[in-house]
Amino acid sequence: MHKTGSSSIQTFLNTATLENATYFKWNKPNHSILFVTLFAEHPEAHWFFRQRGVSAEEIAGKRARLREDLRRQVAESPHGLFLLSAERIYGASHADLAACKAFFEPLFDDISVFCYVREPLSYAASMLQQRLKTGALPGPRALLPQFHKHIETLDRVFGAEHVAPRLYSDPRRDTGDVVADFCVWTGVRAAQPAEVSVNKSLSAEATALLYLFRKYAGFELSSAAAVTASRKLVRALAKLPGQRIALGPEVFGSAAVDADRTWMERRMGEAFQPPPPGRGQTVTLASFDTLDAFGRTVFHQRSGAAFREADWEGLGPAAPARFAAALA
C-alpha cells in the first residue's frame, strides 16, 4: 500500500548490495509507473502520463522495450529471488494484475505478493498528504484503503495462499524499522544495514495550506513546467514545522471504516495495533470544511492577510511561486 514505508524500502532495495536477491533495475526505485507501463490496459489514462501528454503509441513502444529489459535482467541474475515493488499493485484492476501474472509466470516457479497494510484512519491522513502533493484534490472515499476490494482482487488473481498481508505498524516487533522488518519478512539478505528513511510527512499546517491551494488556485498539472512548479511549492511547504494531522471517523462515516477494518483483521487473523505515541501535538479534523478553515487560519498567521479566493484565480503557472512567496 501507499504510505507504509514503501519509499524507504524501495530506495534501500535499489541501492543496497543484495546477497540473495535481485531488485529490478529501472530509472526509479519505485516501480509503480513501470507497472502501469508494462501491464495497464489503458496506461495513457494514468495521471503520470496525462500530465506529460504521453500518447498510447509512445507507451506501447516503451512497453516492448521494458519487457525485453526485464526478461534480460531475469536471465542474467545469479539469484532465484526477484523483487518488484510498486504501490500501484495494491490498487490495480483485475485485468492489469492478470496481465502482470501472465508476464511473470513463465519466468518463475512461484509468485508471492507481500503487502503492508495500515490502520484506515492513519492511512487516510497520510494519503491526504500524498494526493495533495501529486496535484489531486481528493474526496473522502479516495483516502480510504478499501481493503476488501483491493486485497480480494489480489487474492482472486494470485491465490490467497500467495498474498501475504502484514501490519505496517506493530509495536510487538523486535525492530521498529520497516525496511529491516521487510528484509526479515521476505528473507532478503543485504551487505548493508537495512535502514533508510525518505518521504517525510507534511505538518498539519502545511497540509491545510496545500489543500487551500489545490482547491482555489485553479492550477492544473498539464505540462512539465507546471509539474516542476508544483513540486517547488510542495518542497517549500514541507519545511513548515507544525503539528501532526489526523482525520476523525466522521469524515468518512464510521460504519464504512469499521466494516473494512473488520474484514482486513479477519483476513490477516490479527487486529490493527494502536500506533505508538507520536511526538508533538496532533490536529484532528472532522471534515473537509474544518480543513479549509484551518488552512485559512494558518494562511493568515503566516502571511498577515486573510485568504481570499479571488487572489488566486487565473494566475496559471505563476500560482505556485506566488503562493509560496505569500507564506515566506
Q: If you average pLDDT over residues 183-204, what whole number do you get?
A: 86
What ranges in 55-203 are assigned the alpha helix state H? 56-76, 88-91, 94-104, 120-133, 147-158, 178-186
At residue 278, the pLDDT reads 61
Interatomic CA distance for residues 233 and 283, integer angstroms: 22
Average pLDDT of 283-301? 96
Q: Do 188 and 20 contact (CB within 8 A), yes or no? A: yes
pLDDT value of position 227? 86
pLDDT of residue 283: 93
Model confidence pLDDT, tens digit, residues 62-120: 999 999 999 999 999 999 999 999 999 999 999 999 999 999 999 999 999 999 999 99
Q: Using 50, 70 and 90 to split pLDDT, how confident is the model at 238? A: very high
Helix (H) / strand (E) containing 235: helix 224-238
Stretch (H or E) spanning 159: none
Q: 3-state DSSP call for residue 21?
A: strand
Q: Which three cell numbers stand for residue 211?
A: 489543500
B/e letters for 183-203, b = 16+ CB within 10 Å, e = fewer, are beebebebeeebebeebeebb
What would the mean pLDDT of 236-246 be, rounded to a whole number?
A: 93
pLDDT tens per residue, range 121-143: 999 999 999 999 988 899 898 89
Please provide the average confidence, as pLDDT, over all residues in the chain: 92
Farthest CA pair distance, the chain: 63
The residue written with cell numbers 498577515 in the block is 304
Which DSSP helix (H) or strand (E) runs through 35?
helix 32-39
pLDDT value of residue 145: 95
Task: Please write the tens of the pLDDT for every residue from 135-179.
Answer: 889 989 889 999 999 999 999 999 999 999 999 988 777 767 899
- Residue in the structure block whose three cell numbers are 548490495: 17
Instruction: Using CB atoms within 10 Å of the CB of residue 124, give its burial: 0 to 12 exposed, 13 to 18 middle, 19+ buried.
Output: buried
pLDDT at residue 273 is higher than 90: no
- Hey, what's the cell of 8? 524507504
- The DSSP output letter for 142 is G
Cell numbers 503539528 correspond to what residue? 243
With a threshold of 0.85, does the pTM exceed it?
yes
Rounded to the nearest angstrom, the gap between the alpha carbon of residue 227 and the centroid of all alpha carbons in its chain is 18
Write down the domain spans for the chain: 1-111, 204-253+278-327
Cα gap 298→203, rounded to integer Å: 12
Q: First CA to last CA across the chain, in angstroms?
A: 34
